[in-house]
Chains A and B, each alone.
Chain A
Amino acid sequence: MRALLGCMCMSLSVFGCASSPKTTLIFYLDPPRELVNDGGSPNDGGAPSDFSCIGVAGFDIVVTSGSGDSRSGPLLKDTPVLDPKDCHLTQPFSIHDIDVDSPASVVVTGYDGARTPLVQATGRVDNLHGGATHLQLETLATPLSPVLVVNRQPLLPAGAQLADVTSLTVRAVRMSMMLLNVAAGPYFGVEPGAYAVQMNLGPDGTDDMLALTVDFTIPNMAVRQARLTAHWIPIVIPPATTPSGGYYKAQ
């Protein structure tokens, strides 16, 4: 009986003395990298060499673990990504109370101002004891759609705020071809507005100097229309000396 009681106390003390350490697993979000020509792994350079993140206005993070899904909601950037090296979160984002021994997966998606997903990274871990791991953003659009950047606030009527706008339409003056029709959404408020244009706008600056009309819909106000011109803004990524990509800016 004495041995039994001793054994029970010992087992309880052994279990009781086990401490529960604070575990944090960090995912580092890496910008997209261009695949090498042989279709293999991303290049080894530390700098981004891919333009798919241009136009990203914010990110959304979903963490799935044993206890269910946790969602960050829109994590807006101060300004949209106009330089590939800016393709990262403005601030670190953390989700707590995740079971350290359960597998977890993380999905990070980058959206433009029209909530069109442009890039995405996924990662999965068996538990939270790994310390740190990397998430590689990759393009979701192949081929890449050209990005049109519009500085909208100066185009609004006096007294109107960007938050008042319910939709935005961009057309080419020539034949009135529709380029964009955007309803205000969670990523709409990032200024300037950056949108991936999937139709009627040529890639790589071929529609440089295209004449555009921009229409804003604001409740209780007449439709505001502005005439702008799309200028191609080339981007040079070192160590290259010539531009290999860019975006359109409506001015």
Chain B
Amino acid sequence: MRLVSLSTWASLALVASVASADRLAVVPFESPGHTAPALEAEQLSADLIARGHRVVSSADAVARISIGNQGAGPDWAAQVMQSIEAARATLTRLDRAIASNMARKIGEDIVHRGGGAGGADVLVEWCLLERQLSLTASDAKTASLWLDAAIAFGPDVELDPLRHPDEERDLFARRRVVLQSEVAAGLSIATAPGAAEIWVDGVRRCESPCTLTLLPGRHLARASSPAHAPAVIDIELGPGTIASRRLGLTPAYSGASPKAISSMLAQPSRRTEGASALEPMARFLDVEHVVALVPEGNQIRVLLAPPAAGRSRVGPVVAAADLSPTVTEQLRPIAIPEQGTSLFKKPGTWIIGGAIVAALVGGFFVYEATRPQKTGTITVQ
């Protein structure tokens, strides 16, 4: 019996400690001359999780904030094409490792944006770059898969003869005929809310809900709607497959951009404004506090938005090693100083005082309204 009782108390204490934990998002910001302290943010997140807080990882928080702010249209596509050209040039110089790293980053960016909205060419070029990398690694099978992926992404794309040799263009055309002869696949996309624009492989295809017929293979889709953050799909469709996806669109972050907040936090006169701009971010991320880390010299300034009760918006500057205890301390509310006079606790005093003042003022106006006006005489002699 005693054992049951002890275990009950222990479980209750655990529940209470978890319930009192805060939901936090640790967001590193850059400042002039300093990069964002991403490593310190990750370490702090781990420490806070260890203390029982629920923490949105800094990378995830930054991604969620940025996704609505960064474009994925023709400008972005042109930049990606430049990157692909640079990677191809690097590969020409036989610097395969760097080219491979560049291709990986390009791929992550394209997938992250669901293929973007800048046309299918950029996806095709990325796949052909990866194919080239596979060929230089003597991996013919993977190279073949990348070629199929390129065709699936852009069956209507004509390769630029200035970029691609005749052999490659011939291979692309022949393989396209083969894939087009296979049984087509289908993809049904619905969104909540509806009427979102559906971009598949960089091309605007329909408005949700809708069903598309696609070549078998890998496809990237993106649903975008005004005031909502885009949702993306990365899907592999086999021949004759019909897949359905339902996407929930979350409201886009409409507060100040991380860059703008960084700029404000870097100026002492606008630091409080910058700290205030973090509060919409906390609401968007659905956390109780955003913990902003801003490098200042060799140390890091900690800002908690919104601040705990009784705390200042602009937190202290501490060494990286002291981040965790500092944030824990900043999360602890402090007593709000009581008003200096006990009159604040006595509404009756205020009511009676107000009534006396009103009576005096009313009496004065009554007197002024009823008394004859004071007049005099001017005599000239």
- Residue positions of A touching B, CB distance < 8 A: 3-4, 7-8, 11-12, 15-16, 18, 20-29, 61, 63, 65, 88-89, 91-101, 104, 106, 108, 128, 135
Q: Using A3-B352, A4-B355 as known contacts, say yes or no to A11 and B377 having CB atoms under 8 A apart.
A: no
Nearest to B368 among chain A residues (CB) is: A15
Given contacts A4-B355, A27-B380, A89-B381, contact A99 B363 (CB under 8 A): no
CB distance from B270 to the nearest CB of A (A): 50
Q: Given A96-B375, A100-B376: A11 and B360 within 8 A (CB)? A: yes
Contact A11 B378, beta carbon cutoff 8 Å: no
Shortest Cβ gap from B381 to chain A (Å)? 4
Complex-state Cα separation, A186 to B362, whole angstroms: 52
Task: Say yes or no: A12 contacts B380, CB within 8 Å.
Answer: no
CB of A25 within 8 A of CB of B376, answer yes
Known pairs A23-B374, A27-B379, A94-B378; list 18 more (Cβ under 8 Å). A4-B352, A7-B360, A11-B359, A12-B363, A20-B372, A22-B377, A23-B376, A23-B377, A24-B378, A25-B378, A27-B381, A28-B381, A91-B381, A93-B380, A96-B377, A99-B373, A99-B375, A101-B374
Which residue of A8, A11, A61, A96 contacts B380 across the interface (Cβ within 8 Å)?
A61
List, in ascending order, chain B residues with CB within 8 A of A94's CB: 377-380
Q: Does B1 contact A (CB under 8 A)?
A: no
Contact (Cβ within 8 A) A106 B378: yes
- A128, B376: Cβ atoms closer than 8 Å: yes
Some 14 contacts from A to B, beta carbons below 8 A apart, are A4-B355, A23-B376, A23-B377, A25-B379, A26-B380, A26-B381, A28-B381, A63-B378, A92-B381, A93-B380, A95-B379, A98-B376, A100-B375, A108-B380
Q: Pick the contact of A29 from B360, B363, B371, B380 — CB < 8 Å?
A: B380
Q: Do B359 and A106 have beta carbons less than 8 Å apart?
A: no
Would A8 and B359 count as touching, CB distance under 8 A?
yes
Can you list, as one digit per residue, whether each of B78-111 has a CB less than 8 Å from chain A (1) or not (0)? 0000000000000000000000000000000000
* Contact residues in A for B356 (Cβ distance below 8 Å): 3-4, 7
Closest residue to B367 on the A side, CB-wise? A15
Instruction: Tell me whether B366 is interfacial, beta carbon within 8 Å.
Output: yes
- A100 to B362 Cα, complex, angstroms: 24
What is the CA–CA distance of A128 and B377 in the complex, to the nearest angstrom? 8
Contact present for A26 and B379 (CB under 8 Å): yes
Contact A97 B375, beta carbon cutoff 8 Å? yes
Please tell me which one of the listed residues A7, A16, A23, A63 contacts residue B359 in the complex, with CB atoms under 8 A apart.
A7
Complex: A97 Cα to B352 Cα, angstroms:
41
In the bound assembly, the distance between CA atoms of A21 and B377 in angstroms comes to 11
The residue among A12, A21, A65 with the most chain B CB atoms within 10 A of its own CB is A12
Q: Which residues of B contact A28 (CB under 8 A)?
A: 381
**Interface-central residue, B356, B366, B376, by most chain A CB under 10 Å:** B376
Question: Pick the contact of A11 from B363, B372, B373 — CB < 8 Å?
Answer: B363
Contacts of B380 in A (CB 8 A): 26-27, 29, 61, 89, 92-94, 106, 108, 135
The reply to whether A98 and B375 form a contact with Cβ atoms under 8 Å apart is yes
The 5 nearest A-B residue pairs measured at CB: A23-B376, A15-B367, A92-B381, A11-B363, A100-B376
> Which chain B residues in 327-381 approach chain A with CB under 8 Å?
352, 355-356, 359-360, 362-364, 366-367, 371-381
Cβ–Cβ contact B381 & A29, under 8 A? yes
- B378–A12 CB distance below 8 A: no
Contact A16 B367 (CB under 8 A): yes
Contact of B377 among A3, A18, A95, A108 (CB under 8 A): A95
B residues in contact with A12, CB < 8 Å: 363, 366-367
A4-B356, A7-B360, A12-B367 are contacts. A24–B379 as well, Cβ < 8 Å? yes
Residues of A within 8 A of B378 (CB): 24-25, 27, 63, 65, 94-95, 98, 104, 106, 128
Chain B, residue nearest A93 (CB): B380
Least Cβ–Cβ distance between A69 and chain B, in angstroms: 12
B374 with A100: CB separation less than 8 A: yes
What is the CB-to-nearest-CB distance from A70 to chain B, in angstroms, rounded to a whole number?
8
A18 to B377, CA, bound (A): 20
Distance of A4 Cα from B351 Cα, bound (Å): 11
Query: What B residues does A25 contact at CB under 8 A?
Result: 376-379
- Smallest CB gap from B365: residue in A: A15
B367 contact set on A, CB distance < 8 A: 12, 15-16
Q: Chain B contacts of A26 at CB under 8 A?
A: 379-381
CA A222 – CA B271 in complex, angstroms? 100
- The B245-277 residues at the A interface (CB cut-off 8 A) are none
What distance in Å separates the Cβ of A131 from its nearest Cβ neighbour in chain B?
11
Contacting pair A15 B363 (CB below 8 A): yes
Separation of A102 and B371 alpha carbons in the complex (Å): 17
- Closest Cβ of chain A to B319, distance in Å, is 62
Residue of A nearest to B380 (CB): A27
Q: Which residues of B contact A18 (CB under 8 A)?
A: 371
Query: Which residues of B sit under 8 angstroms from A100, Cβ to Cβ?
Result: 374-376
- With a cutoff of 8 Å between Cβ atoms, the chain A residues found around residue B360 in the complex are 7, 11
Cα separation A20 to B376 with both chains bound (whole Å): 10
User: Smallest distance from the beta carbon of B374 to chain A beta carbons, Å?
Assistant: 5
**Separation of A177 and B166 alpha carbons in the complex (Å):** 122
A119 to B362: give the CA distance in the assembly, Å: 51
Complex: A65 Cα to B378 Cα, angstroms: 10
Complex CA–CA separation, A106 to B377 (angstroms): 12
Instruction: State the CA gap A24–B376 with chains docked (Å).
Output: 6
B residues near A97, Cβ cutoff 8 Å: 375, 377
In Å, the complex CA distance between A96 and B378 comes to: 7
Residues of chain B within 8 A (CB-CB) of A99 are 373-376
